[in-house]
Amino acid sequence: MDENDNPISEDDWGAAIAEQEKADAEAAARAASGANVQSGAGLFQEFGKGPQTQTHNDIDFILDIPVQLTVELGRTKIAIKNLLQLAQGSVVELDGLAGEPMDVLVNGCLIAQGEVVVVNDKFGIRLTDIVTPAERIRKLNK
């Protein structure tokens, strides 16, 4: 990795370390002087003094995050000796039945089911059932 690839420079690290050392020294001085903090309110007092930043609950912030979309035809377990015997033209039986809806997963989490379609000589999937957020949560709790 090149130094120019790293957006954080050594000066930034030095400033952050110096700031942390200053905060540690101030905390040690307060502890040594017998200052007793009754609650955590005093710790966060400085946050209210700074300029207010507006937070956005806008989904636009996450729209460009890539996720892994997987369409699963089925699964099977196979012994290593059988795996080593596979050759071109071999057929591996899956637990999914022909005509059964296939699972559509995003980052390993089931979000829908669908059926295979061919469009312009390319395979695709037509979604037939979308899993609701409530159903996803219920499956996680099992």
Contact indicator for 114, 102 with CB cutoff of 8 Å: yes
Instruction: List, edge to edge, every strand of the sheet that includes 109-119.
Output: 69-72, 102-106, 109-119, 122-130
Q: What angle do CA 103, 109, 113 make, to 5 degrees?
A: 20
Options 2.30.330.10, 1.20.140.10, 3.30.300.210, 3.40.50.1100; CATH for 61-140 is: 2.30.330.10
Residue, of 45 and 141, whose pLDDT is higher: 141
Contact indicator for 90, 76 with CB cutoff of 8 Å: no
pLDDT tens-place string over residues 45-74: 555 555 555 555 678 888 889 999 999 888
What pLDDT was estimated at residue 2?
A: 47
Q: Place 3 in a pLDDT band, splitting at 50, 70 and 90.
A: very low
What are the residue boundaries of the structural domains of the chain, listed by start? 3-57, 61-140
Element spanning 138, H or E: helix 133-140
Q: What is the pTM of this model?
A: 0.49
Q: Is 90 exceeded by the pLDDT of residue 127? A: yes
Amino acid in position 94: L
What pLDDT was estimated at residue 137?
A: 82
Q: Is 60 exceeded by the pLDDT of residue 41? A: no
Side-chain half-sphere of 14: how many Cα atoms within 13 Å? 3
The mean per-residue pLDDT over the stretch 10-39 comes to 71
Residue, of 55 and 114, whose pLDDT is higher: 114
Would you give the DSSP letter of residue 124? Answer: E
